């Protein structure tokens, strides 16, 4: 799964002027709460390492809201390795409220102008705002065309952020005709246009902050409140490490907006939510293993995924059998599988944490870089029957590299691949970087069966064919039923589009149908999966 892009992450903090001062707030005073944002973003760094940023609000300075953002990791953007530079930066952006963001690109380019938060300047305080979001607008291209039908309109960037900015501005303008706009009314108005996923943080020059989660709750968003301190983040670990207790950390409900100013916190519903569609990949891969999302522990979910793999295991075990995780996110699943099977779980692959991310590369260079990312340990792997546990197989580039190196460098006797997930059979249009069928490893195998996508399920013969193509001795995908048991969530509460081709929004369904027609028309144009 290291050849799959991760998601973005958002954070927000507000030190209210009412109530008892929270012991979790910075000791320097109310206007220093913005200093918490870099620490929160570090805990969300797993969700994006391409860019990071902060917008703070301070009523005591001319620049009421001000934004700092750049391409790079949180440490690089906030100069965390240079104490003087870091403190100078934080002194400039001190404020009683702030929002932050870590990014990877589902749309848009890898340069500073695409980094978030996006700030929109205006002479009117309620029209001067900044925002950031985690997600993807499925109807982005349609919305973009609607905007450009106005000959006086222009969009400078190829990103759904700019489209969302347009609709936020329109909603603010429409709601301000009768006075200062209510954030609840703004959310109701702009959400009518959107199809897709979004967890949104917003801050304006009036000192109003709001956080909102899309009506299906596809992306996670949590909040906590302690005395005078309000905070929100994409994952619970960012709140827990600020000092909030587990019972204080709660989920923003689908379709809910939380509005905060200097003296109050309001909980409102801006859209009806007829069902939830939480992205199951959050538990399988994306989220920090220390997080709890929608009342489900990420660690325990992954551990149970491993136990389910053990239950369905059909390869004979002997004294040479070992379970080896692909670092790092497969570790919990591997531990669960090994414990259930009663065989050792050993670190047969060591990850070079400083080699960078292979998924941002392409072609031959990406293949070569993947080779340097993991070091097989011959002393662990030699002569062993290895059960290699991975989060999933999406494009297969990294898996092919690993199998080759485990055999040639590690000298393993056998390698049996065990993804802790069902096969990825369909693209995602909600924030994960896999938007075509041709990108997916399993597509050509299922396609040649002639069955409709709704019936794409693996059997032993098909898994054996895939294993041979990968260079593995066997391949066993997790069943859908095992996934639901591990997550302890029914299918109707999850977004499972990438494993069952059933999309929770109209535009997701439409884009998938168009993408499959394009694949059928020219399957030979699919992205080659062997790293070349």
Q: Read off the pLDDT of residues 364-382 as tens digits, 9 standing for 90 and up.
A: 555 566 677 899 999 999 9
Please pick, among 8, 187, 345, 428, the residue that the annotation labels catalytic.
8
Label residue 275 by pLDDT band (50, 70, 90).
very high
Closest CA to 519 of 449, 435, 462: 435
Distance, in Å, from the CA atom of 353 to the CA atom of 234, rounded to the nearest integer, reads 23
**What distance lies between CA 188 and its chain's CA centroid?**
25
Percent of the chain exceeding pLDDT 90 equals: 78
Other CB atoms within 10 A of residue 206 CB: 21
Q: Which residues contact 62 (CB under 8 A, 6 or more apart)?
A: none
Domains and CATH numbers, the chain: 9-276 (3.60.20.10), 296-525 (3.40.50.2020)
Mean pLDDT of the chain: 91
Label residue 35 by pLDDT band (50, 70, 90).
very high
Pair of tokens at residue 108? 């848009």
* Per-residue model confidence (pLDDT) at position 105: 57
Per-residue model confidence as pLDDT tens digits over 387-434 = 999 999 999 988 999 999 999 999 999 999 999 999 999 999 998 888
pTM, 2 dp: 0.92
Per-residue model confidence as pLDDT tens digits over 427-481 = 999 988 888 999 999 999 999 999 999 899 999 999 999 999 999 999 999 999 9
* Per-residue model confidence (pLDDT) at position 141: 93
Give how far Cα 461 sits from Cα of 191, 421, 466, Å.
Answer: 46, 18, 9
**At residue 359, does pLDDT exceed 60?**
no
Buried-state track 349-386, b at ≥16 Cβ within 10 A, e below 16: beeeeeeeebbbbeeeebbebbbebbebbeebbeebbb
Per-residue model confidence as pLDDT tens digits over 501-512 = 999 999 999 999
Question: Is 8 one of the annotated active-site residues of the chain?
Answer: yes
Per-residue model confidence as pLDDT tens digits over 52-99 = 999 999 999 999 999 999 999 999 999 999 999 999 999 999 999 999
Residues paired with 266 in a beta bridge: 259
DSSP reduced 3-state for 456: coil
Type and span of the H or E element at 460: helix 460-470
| 65 touches 119 (CB < 8 A) | yes
- Cα-Cα end-to-end distance for the chain: 18
**At residue 210, does pLDDT exceed 70?**
yes
Give how far Cα 205 sits from Cα of 59, 126, 461, Å.
Answer: 8, 6, 62
Distance, in Å, from the CA atom of 365 to the CA atom of 361, rounded to the nearest integer, reads 7
């Amino acid at each position: 799964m290291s050849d799959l892009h991760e998601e973005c992450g958002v954070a927000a903090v507000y030190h209210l002027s009412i109530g008892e001062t929270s012991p979790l707030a910075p000791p320097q005073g109310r206007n220093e709460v913005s200093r918490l944002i870099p620490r929160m973003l570090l805990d969300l760094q797993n969700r994006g390492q391409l860019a990071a940023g902060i917008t703070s609000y301070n009523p005591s300075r001319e620049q009421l809201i001000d934004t700092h953002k750049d391409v790079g990791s949180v440490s690089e953007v906030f100069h965390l390795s240079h104490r003087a530079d870091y403190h100078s930066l934080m002194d400039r952006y001190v404020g009683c409220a702030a929002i932050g963001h870590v990014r990877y690109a589902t749309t848009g380019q890898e340069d500073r102008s695409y980094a978030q938060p996006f700030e929109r300047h205006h002479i009117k305080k309620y029209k001067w705002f900044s925002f950031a979001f985690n997600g993807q607008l499925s109807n982005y291209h349609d919305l973009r065309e609607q905007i450009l039908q106005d000959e006086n309109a222009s969009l400078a960037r190829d990103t759904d952020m700019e489209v969302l900015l347009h609709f936020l501005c329109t909603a603010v303008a429409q709601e301000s005709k009768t006075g200062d706009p209510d954030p609840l009314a703004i959310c109701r108005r702009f959400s009518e246009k959107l199809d897709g996923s979004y967890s949104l943080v917003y801050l304006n020059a009036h000192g109003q902050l709001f956080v909102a989660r899309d009506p299906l709750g596809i992306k996670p968003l949590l909040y906590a409140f302690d005395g005078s301190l309000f905070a929100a983040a994409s994952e619970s670990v960012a709140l827990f490490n600020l000092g909030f207790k587990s019972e204080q950390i709660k989920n923003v409900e689908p379709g809910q907006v939380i509005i905060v100013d200097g003296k109050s916190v309001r909980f409102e519903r801006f859209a009806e939510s007829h069902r939830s569609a939480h992205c199951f990949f959050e538990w399988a891969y994306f989220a920090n293993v220390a997080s709890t999302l929608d009342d489900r522990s990420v660690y325990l979910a992954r551990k149970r995924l491993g136990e389910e793999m053990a239950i369905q295991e059909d390869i004979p075990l002997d004294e040479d059998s070992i379970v080896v995780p692909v670092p790092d996110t497969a570790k919990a699943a591997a531990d669960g599988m090994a414990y259930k099977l009663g065989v050792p779980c050993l670190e047969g692959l060591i990850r070079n944490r400083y080699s960078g991310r292979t998924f941002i590369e392409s072609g031959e260079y990406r293949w070569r870089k993947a080779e340097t990312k993991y070091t097989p340990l011959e002393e662990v792997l030699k002569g062993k029957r290895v059960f290699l546990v991975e989060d999933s197989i999406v494009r297969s580039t990294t898996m092919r590299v690993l199998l080759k190196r485990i055999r040639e460098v590690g000298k393993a006797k056998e390698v049996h691949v065990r993804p802790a997930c069902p096969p990825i059979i369909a693209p995602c249009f909600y924030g994960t970087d896999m938007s075509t069928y041709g990108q997916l490893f399993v597509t050509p195998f299922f396609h040649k069966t002639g069955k409709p996508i709704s019936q794409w399920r693996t059997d032993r013969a098909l898994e054996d064919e895939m294993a041979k193509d990968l260079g593995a001795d066997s391949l066993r995908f997790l069943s859908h039923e095992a996934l639901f048991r591990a997550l302890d969530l029914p299918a109707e509460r999850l977004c499972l589009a990438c494993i069952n081709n059933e999309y929770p929004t109209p535009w997701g369904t439409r884009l998938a149908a168009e993408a499959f027609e394009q694949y059928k028309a020219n399957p030979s144009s699919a992205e080659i999966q062997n790293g070349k």
